[in-house]
Amino acid sequence: MSIDATTYDELKEIAARYPQPRSGLLPMLHLVQSAEGHVTPAGIEACAEILGITPAEVSGVATFYTMYKRRPVGDYLVGVCTNTLCAVMGGDEIFARLKEHLDVGNDETTAVRPEDKHSVTLEHVECNAACDYAPVVMVNWEFVDNQTPDSAVALVDDLRAGVERHATRGPRLCTWRQAERVLAGFPDGLADEGPSAGPASLAGLRIARERGWSAPATVGGRDAAAQPDSKLAAVEEADTRRAESETVTETVSKEGTSDD
């Protein structure tokens, strides 16, 4: 079964954005998920054909990154952080409660009951990079902060029932396919809806302003204005610093040996 013509044309549109078309593979795979519900064989074939690479090369990318799904995803992808801080703050308990409440395991999707409008796929994630709001749940990559087992249950119940919910630091929650289309580079107009950062994330900035703190004028002991202005210069400087560091280490080591 081939991918539909509209999606195929949009895949070509994404590839054309880049000087090297292959650079468009990541957003192209997001578009495939938007259209197909997951990365399908037809989507892989289409990406490979447009980019002039093999399906195996496309599959290698699709199986490497966890945001690309090889099985159908529900209308809402709910990820519970179970990394260290979130786990300590209750993330493990939230995940266990949701598994029991939804009657699914990790990376599984709920059955749609007669009273449901939407399905939910549940997964645990290792880190949502939002430790200041632990424990954190994500819905289609949007943050829902400071959760408890009860609030998480209320969240998924609302999602299944079609009740509008908003991210804590972002817009109202759209479906997973809609979110995937945004990640493919087709804006939905919601980028400026809702706050982008909360008080906990900005606490350090607030304290610095209150106390008149600012970043030092130098970087790494050198004048900030004299920092390398090209990638090649940066590599050369890094090599020089590494050589200097190794020389110092070697000298100290020899001195220690001679003292013995």
Provide the pLDDT for residue 113.
Answer: 94
* Interatomic CA distance for residues 129 and 152, integer angstroms: 19
What is the distance in angstroms between the CA of the first residue and the CA of the last residue of the chain? 75
Provide the pLDDT for residue 220.
Answer: 59
Decide if 32 contacts 43 (C-beta within 8 A).
Answer: yes
pLDDT tens-digit series, residues 207-233: 999 999 988 876 555 655 555 566 666
pLDDT above 90 (res 19): yes
Decide if 77 contacts 104 (C-beta within 8 A).
Answer: no
* Interatomic CA distance for residues 226 and 250, integer angstroms: 28
Provide the pLDDT for residue 231.
Answer: 61
Which residues, 6 or more positions from 78, have their beta carbon under 8 angstroms from its beta carbon? 98, 120, 121, 122, 123, 137, 138, 139, 155, 156, 159
Provide the pLDDT for residue 129.
Answer: 86
* Interatomic CA distance for residues 193 and 73, integer angstroms: 25
* Interatomic CA distance for residues 231 and 228, integer angstroms: 8
Decide if 135 contacts 146 (C-beta within 8 A).
Answer: yes
pLDDT above 60 (res 254): no
pLDDT above 90 (res 37): yes
Provide the pLDDT for residue 190.
Answer: 86
Other beta carbons within 10 angstroms of residue 46's beta carbon come to 25
44: amino acid identity, one letter: I
DSSP string for residues in 92-157: HHHHHHHHHHHT--TTEE----TT-S--EEEEEES--S-GGG-S-EEETTEEE-S--HHHHHHHHH
Provide the pLDDT for residue 217.
Answer: 79
Question: Which token pair is 221?
Answer: 């002991």
Provide the pLDDT for residue 61.
Answer: 97
Q: How long is the chain?
A: 260
Highest averaged pLDDT of the listed ranges 37-41, 201-205, 237-241: 37-41
Q: What's the rounded mean pLDDT across residues 198-203?
A: 86
Which residues, 6 or more positions from 187, have their beta carbon under 8 angstroms from its beta carbon? none
Which of 8-12, 27-31, 256-260 has the weakest average pLDDT?
Answer: 256-260
The answer to whether the predicted template modeling score (pTM) of the entire model surpasses 0.85 is no
- Closest alpha carbon to 76 in 151, 177, 193, 172: 177
Provide the pLDDT for residue 211.
Answer: 94
Decide if 174 contacts 165 (C-beta within 8 A).
Answer: no
Provide the pLDDT for residue 249.
Answer: 54
Query: Mean of the per-residue pLDDT values for the chain?
Result: 89
The pairing of strands 142-144 and 76-81 is unpaired
pLDDT tens-digit series, residues 73-109: 999 999 999 999 999 999 999 999 999 999 999 999 9
pLDDT tens-digit series, residues 109-163: 999 999 999 999 999 998 888 999 999 999 999 999 999 999 999 999 999 999 9
Provide the pLDDT for residue 253.
Answer: 55
Provide the pLDDT for residue 193.
Answer: 86
Question: Where do we find the tokens 């009273």?
Answer: 115
